[in-house]
Structure 1
Amino acid sequence: MPTQEQLLSVIHTQTEIIKLGHDLNAVMTLIADKIQQITGAQGAVVELDEGEDMVYRAVSGGAAHLLGLRLARENSLSGLCIAENRILYCEDCENDPRVDRQACHRVGLRSMAVVPLIHAHEVVGVLKIYSDQVAAFKLRDLKLLSLMSETFAAAMYHATKFDAQVLYKMATQDSLTGLANRALFLDCLRQRMSLAERQQQSLNVCMLDMDRLKSINDQYGHRVGDAALKEIATRLKATLDDEVVIARLGGDEFALILDMNTDRNQALLTMQDISQACDAVFNFEEMSLQIGLSIGLSVYPEDGVEIETLLECADLRMYAQKHQRKQQGINKNHQVGLQA
């Protein structure tokens, strides 16, 4: 049986979920974090069922780098968990015919437990804990996993009483700006990089950081800061084509995936358009606020063939440009960050 301390942790999680309100993405992340901590698992994942795939929509611990990962539902323990609507435990993936062994190797797990997540009487995904050790989990861990899945179901009920499509939207959309969230961005980036590799094309990725958000929050409060973030999102959507993936990764961070038909020169022109649009003064209520973006661009496969490498390259170039903007004290007509 779970210890008293573990049960208290589950109750505390329920209290924290109430504070998060209808932000389903934050709820999923919290639940992944808590079940990983409570059970001592190496990692924890909330996987949502999206057609033929299971998609990692919230991750914790050793699974952090797998956010947005898309795996085939067929011949997987998660898929079987959904089909049978019951908790399943794999003590050793090397000797269990129910699992996708190749996917297990990709994630780096040896044992795992999965429990179905139910919304409106329908199984919409699974909550998974895993370890790189054989037979890492005991009966009490499975009971805790089941308790946490019930907590998640209650949270989803209060977050949305609509259909699965609305649930998907809430799980993949930034609640403040309506843009794609980090999980959806990484999912799209993996898919587009795979397509670019097959078609032997390049792919442009941008990291963007909003300037002066902290000072706006400190001086005027988070209500004004949130309004400024939403204004940046509005300007990005107005400036960019529908084919561009626009995401808010969290805080003052945004990211873009440009259309594969966009070459480097076109990408530079697009970045200049973004700079011009986002550096314009933001008039809010009776205030005139100077906002803007620092931008870094990286190109697949020229700057890297792995997601982490590509994003780190764009990040470094973005911070180099942010430093340059601060040094020069300029807000307009600056050069897009291309050099690390």
Structure 2
Amino acid sequence: MDHTFPPLQLDPAILLEIIQVQTEIARCGLDLGQVINLVCQHSQQLARGCGAVVEIAEGSFMVYRAASGTAAGQLGMRIPLEGSLSGLCVTSNQSLVCHDALTDARVDKRACQAVGLRSMVVVPLSHGSQAVGVLKVIATEPGRFDARAIAILQLMSGVIAAAMYHASKYDIDQLYHQATHDAMTNLPNRAHYFDRLRSTLALAERQRHKVGILGVDMDGLKFINDTYGHRAGDAAIREIGQRLRQEVRQADLVARIGGDEFMVLLTDIGDQQQIEAKVEHLVQQACRSYHFEGNALPLSVSIGSAIYPDDGHHIETLTELADQAMYQRKKSRSKVAQD
């Protein structure tokens, strides 16, 4: 069966929305991670899917580097390049459609079940003449996509390709770095964090050791922005990221998740007492005095923690527990400040 489609004339309203996406992307500068996330979200809406994914080919795997809708919980998932529709899309450099994942021999059925999809459309993401990943939109029902969806995703993949070119004109390794790191802090981004978290938890399960997960939120960033300007606020975010990175081991990971939020992955932790001591140390180091352009900026963070497997086995559970603990600490600190 031929799963490709001839070119299609799109509705002007769709074209206008894609132009609006390009305008929004222009505000992202060279942060390829933000571009990928933005295109992913808009592609899902424009192609009328229930979820969307940007996968990057890394060695023998396709890695979920952006995910929206029903696929959002699978961010960081790895599927074998060989034996998957995404892998075939990369190796053939052609747009492909799966009308029913239950009967299509080209798909990775385990991955399809994990995401909960029955049909999908995938188009290649090209850097120069080389396909380096795919843009994919999925649906929970079979036969969801047609020539219209292919045409939309081909245009949206071109938007990502343009960002890839401007972010890294020649070096593919640099391109991967742009896609997996935050432009402001040069720390791993949200997608990289969840990729690493999945592999770290899988290793911890096999080797039977504990993993610490820390949720970090800056206190008072709005005050800094309002009082000293956004340049000072950006400098404060970079400083906090650098301080966190300096205070953990090389094997650990500090990632900027977005805005004033960070996550810290402690790859081998002893017990609750040890992780609490680490949290207090990080808070103390983050709160050290910092001057920017002659102004003393009040740096402070709230940190919550969760331990695998003591507090849970699933990424969603552990992340939620760390976030809840962090917000509880923030609430307590705010109450103390008011008293």
What TM-score bracket applies, with the shorter chain setting the length? over 0.9
2:164 to 147, 156, 164: 156
Q: What's the offset of the Cα at 1:2?
A: 2.1
Task: Quote the Cα distance in structure 2 between the aligned partners of 1:256 and 1:80.
Answer: 35
Gaps of 5+ in 1: 331-340
Query: 1:198 and 2:206 equivalent?
Result: yes
| Runs of 4 or more above 6 Å deviation | none
Q: Secondary structure at the match of 2:174?
A: helix
Spell out the pairing of 1:1-340 with structure 2 (5 A cutoff).
Answer: 1-329=9-337
Contact kept, 8 Å, 2:190 with 2:257, in 1: the verdict is yes
Task: Quote the Cα distance in structure 1 between the aligned partners of 2:188 and 2:130.
Answer: 25
Task: Quote the Cα distance in structure 2 between the aligned partners of 1:169 and 1:162.
Answer: 13
**What is the one-letter code of the residue matched to 2:99?**
E
Match in the other structure for 1:338: none
Contact kept, 8 Å, 2:25 with 2:35, in 1: the verdict is yes
TM-score if structure 1 supplies the norm length? 0.94
Task: Quote the Cα distance in structure 2 between the aligned partners of 1:210 and 1:70.
Answer: 31
Q: Secondary structure at the match of 2:135?
A: strand
Deviation string, structure 1 residues 254-280 (Cα, Å, up to 9, x no partner): 111112154433322222221111111
Deviation string, structure 1 residues 175-227 (Cα, Å, up to 9, x no partner): 11111111111111111111111112211111111111111112221111001
Gaps of 5+ in 2: 1-8
* Range that drifts further, 319-328 or 90-99: 319-328
Q: What's the offset of the Cα at 1:253?
A: 0.7
* Range that drifts further, 141-150 or 255-264: 255-264
Q: Secondary structure at the match of 2:267?
A: coil
**What is the one-letter code of the residue matched to 1:210?**
M
* Range that drifts further, 104-113 or 145-154: 145-154
Q: Secondary structure at the match of 1:44?
A: strand
Contact kept, 8 Å, 1:204 with 1:264, in 2: the verdict is no
Contact kept, 8 Å, 1:2 with 1:141, in 2: the verdict is no
Q: Secondary structure at the match of 1:95?
A: coil
Q: What's the offset of the Cα at 1:149?
A: 1.4
Q: Secondary structure at the match of 1:20?
A: coil
Contact kept, 8 Å, 1:23 with 1:170, in 2: the verdict is yes
Q: Secondary structure at the match of 1:71?
A: strand
Contact kept, 8 Å, 2:62 with 2:80, in 1: the verdict is yes
Task: Quote the Cα distance in structure 1 between the aligned partners of 2:248 and 2:111.
Answer: 36
Contact kept, 8 Å, 1:53 with 1:73, in 2: the verdict is yes
Q: What's the offset of the Cα at 1:122?
A: 1.1
Task: Quote the Cα distance in structure 1 between the aligned partners of 2:271 and 2:186.
Answer: 28
Task: Quote the Cα distance in structure 1 between the aligned partners of 2:183 and 2:127.
Answer: 20
**What is the one-letter code of the residue matched to 1:13?**
V
Q: What's the offset of the Cα at 1:17?
A: 2.2
Task: Quote the Cα distance in structure 1 between the aligned partners of 2:21 and 2:191.
Answer: 22
Task: Quote the Cα distance in structure 1 between the aligned partners of 2:288 and 2:333.
Answer: 15
Task: Quote the Cα distance in structure 2 between the aligned partners of 1:16 and 1:170.
Answer: 18
Task: Quote the Cα distance in structure 2 between the aligned partners of 1:259 and 1:103.
Answer: 26
Contact kept, 8 Å, 1:22 with 1:160, in 2: the verdict is no
Q: What's the offset of the Cα at 1:329?
A: 2.2
TM-score if structure 2 supplies the norm length? 0.94
